[in-house]
Amino acid sequence: MNKLRIVYMGTPDFAVPSLKILVENKYDIAAVITAPDKPKGRGQKMSISPVKEYAQSVGLKILQPTNLKDPNFQKELKDLNANLQVVVAFRMLPEAVWSMPEIGTFNLHASLLPQYRGAAPIHWAVMNGEKETGLTTFFLKHEIDTGSIIMQEKESISDVDTTGEVYERLMKKGADLVLKTVQAIENDDYALTPQDENQKLKHAPKLFKENTELKWDQPAEKLYNYIRGLNPFPSAWAIINDKKYKIHSSSIVDKNKTGNIGEIISDHKSYLHIQCNPGIISLENIQPEGKKKMPTADFFRGNKL
């Protein structure tokens, strides 16, 4: 057996259950590396990451480097004498950091690699209408998200799932997979599988304003998937009558009907339908710029298109 001494790296709430399960199973956590505190909200009060909040609650050593290439940070990391690093939802690591431990550094990625490499794998799986996604643990190497696979776990996606719902399920399943991976490494009972590059790969780039806009010249089914794939964050958006709206939820009225692309079909009281190419989509929960999100019927009580 390998006697493990672990450095854990993570920042958002997605990374908390995986750290918690290692602590509860009494693994030796030498330190937790997380993002620096940052000002947040109107008052610009300093906010700490969810991982830091949990690590503080159980008395773990916490490091918050601003620069992972800083020689002082790297010396402090080396002095911890960890032989394994576990990374969940953290930033890109320089080679000097991920290659430091004797056993290596493994990452939990929220897709079935090699599919959906990149920053937003859950979003893009839902946005693309996938029926299945999952989780992968793999050892880091030079090219991002390309290292040898240790373990994978599948997760189905329904036609009505939002990214928020899939995220919650993968967050819990991810903790179990991290524990299984650490146990396998501890017992030296695992096999590595190179990622299969001989298939058509789908990617998961970071989400920006440019790739979250709804264009009505797309099929209604595709736009419906985009809307649920961007729910709850960062939200799909569209221009309707020269004004910008965030679109939080929708349904498909008709998949195949053709007509004047972008035409508004509405009684201006209870429903707002848009002609797509092909199909008609119903916008059910919208948010005018500078206002709160609301059901379409509530919008029409105080607003006009």
* Annotated binding-site ranges: 111-114
- Give the H/E segment covering residue 167: helix 163-186
Q: Phi and psi of 229, rounded to 5°?
A: -70, -20
> Please, which residues have CB within 8 angstroms of residue 47's CB and are 6 or more apart in sequence?
37, 38, 39, 40, 41
Q: Which residues are annotated as a binding site for (6S)-5,6,7,8-tetrahydrofolate?
A: 111-114
| Residues making up the chain, counted from first to last | 305
Of the candidates 209, 220, 254, 304, the one whose C-alpha atom is nearest the C-alpha of residue 296 is: 304
By CB atoms closer than 10 A (0-12, 13-18, 19+), residue 238 is: buried
> Please, which residues have CB within 8 angstroms of residue 158's CB and are 6 or more apart in sequence?
none
Residues linked to residue 105 through DSSP beta bridges, in sequence order:
85
Cβ atoms of 89 and 73 within 8 Å: the answer is: no
By CB atoms closer than 10 A (0-12, 13-18, 19+), residue 218 is: middle
